[in-house]
Amino acid sequence: MARPKIALIGGGQIGGVLAQLCALRELGDVVLFDIVENMPQGKTLDIAEAAPVDGFDVSVTGTNDYKDIADSDVVIVTAGLPRKPGMSRDDLIGVNSKIMTSVAEGIRDNAPDAHVIIISNPLDAMVTLCQKVTGFPSNRVMGQAGVLDSARFQAFIAWELGVSVKDVNAMTLGGHGDTMVPLVRYASVNGIPVLELLEQKYGSAEKANEVMTAMVDRTKAAGGEVVKLLGNGSAFYSPASSAVAMAESILKDQKRVLPTCALLKGEFGIDGFYVGVPCVLGSGGVEKIIEFKLDATEQALMDNSVAAVKELVGSMGL
Ligand code: TXD
């Protein structure tokens, strides 16, 4: 039986970590594409030469030719510029939409049966553009943002409460921008509400809410926090890990419920827009969007986030 094949479009910071993670987990053979000559070949040669040490039996190769992504099962796209300090994700739309158009054409013409996971920013707009250009069914074109935004929220909760990250459950919805919606009411430690645990720790509901609000605000600004510290470029380890979790769920038909940027068709009262929501990811890609009741405050935050996505997508003339 042939091994699965994973194509990575963009061989920069995230692309390199993606290639290494896919290899270490033996998810399939990896092809790393970039327009820069020799760079993807060099990066993948470096990773492949670690195989005897790490013991992975998959091939990892680099290319500048879209033909080499033929027959890919999953394509992960990071092509595009990252933010510089002081920039918002939305500032990248002009340059990255040109890049995304050419990337989507390359995928459409060379890997027409692939599942596509977009990472490039501004995320919600880039996923929308990729789906339009490829014409792929929406279950096969999705974006990674929510797994990372949720992971950041989970990490802050775990650090605050002094418990293992493994036991924290928390999720963000909405667009991948300043308007994202970390869900406070559903945040739990093995089902025990985080707000209750904070109240135990601090002795008052007021202080618990204050601490929670600070974690929500830090989650929303977490990408910028890393950008500022790095001084050059944006987060790359955690975005790569997050996309690999999505790819793995698809390739192994795990049916994990992961917050995914997916095309909504009436769910949560939203029609025709890509937004972050919990989805079942399996061999059919986005197999199901899981809808659940939001309270009035959550719905208002979600609507606000969707309005920002609509404005951005509208600015591309889509
Ligand atoms: O969670 C998320 N979705 C994100 C998204 C979290 C962090 C960063 N996120 C975004 O991912 C970021 O704002 C960027 O738009 C992308 C890629 O970030 P990365 O840090 O990997 O950027 P690099 O290192 O600049 O790499 C981009 C590569 C680089 O090697 C270019 O040569 C290549 O993209 N590139 C192209 N590849 C293929 N085709 C074209 N046209 C092209 N143009 C540039």
Q: How many CA atoms lie within 13 A of 167 on its CB side?
A: 12
Mean per-residue pLDDT for 259-285?
A: 97
Q: How far is the CA of 104 from the centre of ligand 1 (A)?
A: 14
Mean per-residue pLDDT for 82-96?
A: 88
For the domain 5-145, what is the CATH code? 3.40.50.720
Ligand 1, atom 16: nearest CA belongs to which residue? 120
Provide the pLDDT for residue 317: 81
- Answer whether 0.95 is exceeded by the pTM: yes
> Percent of the chain scored above 90 by pLDDT?
93
Q: How far is the CA of 175 from the centre of ligand 1 (A)?
A: 19
Ligand 1, atom 7: nearest CA belongs to which residue? 235
Tokens of 245: 């979790």
Provide the pLDDT for residue 9: 98
The CB of 97 under 6 Å from ligand 1? The reply is: no
> Percent of the chain scored above 70 by pLDDT?
100
Ligand 1, atom 20: nearest CA belongs to which residue? 13
Mean per-residue pLDDT for 127-154?
A: 98
Q: Is 176 a catalytic residue?
A: yes
The CB of 9 under 6 Å from ligand 1? The reply is: yes
DSSP codes joined into one string, 83-127: P-TT--GGGGHHHHHHHHHHHHHHHHHH-TT-EEEE-PSSHHHHH
Mean per-residue pLDDT for 235-258?
A: 98
The CB of 177 under 6 Å from ligand 1? The reply is: no
Provide the pLDDT for residue 95: 92
Q: Is the pLDDT of residue 288 over 90?
A: yes
What is the pLDDT confidence band of residue 88, given thresholds at 50, 70 and 90? Answer: confident
Provide the pLDDT for residue 89: 87
Ligand 1, atom 1: nearest CA belongs to which residue? 145
Q: Is the pLDDT of residue 318 over 80?
A: no
Domains 5-145 and 146-318 alike in fold: no
Mean per-residue pLDDT for 113-127?
A: 97
Q: Is the pLDDT of residue 167 over 80?
A: yes
Fold of the 146-318 domain: L-2-Hydroxyisocaproate Dehydrogenase; Chain A, domain 2 (3.90.110)
Q: Is 67 exposed, middle or buried (0-12, 13-18, 19+ CB in 10 A)?
A: exposed
Residues 18 and 76 sit within 8 Å (Cβ to Cβ): yes
Q: Which of 83, 115, 140, 176 is catalytic?
A: 176
Q: How far is CA 5 from CA 21, 72, 73, 259, 284, in A?
A: 14, 5, 5, 24, 16
Q: How far is the CA of 15 from the centre of ligand 1 (A)?
A: 8
The CB of 106 under 6 Å from ligand 1? The reply is: no
Q: Is the pLDDT of residue 90 over 90?
A: no
Domain boundaries along the sequence of the chain: 5-145, 146-318
Mean per-residue pLDDT for 184-201?
A: 98
The CB of 82 under 6 Å from ligand 1? The reply is: yes
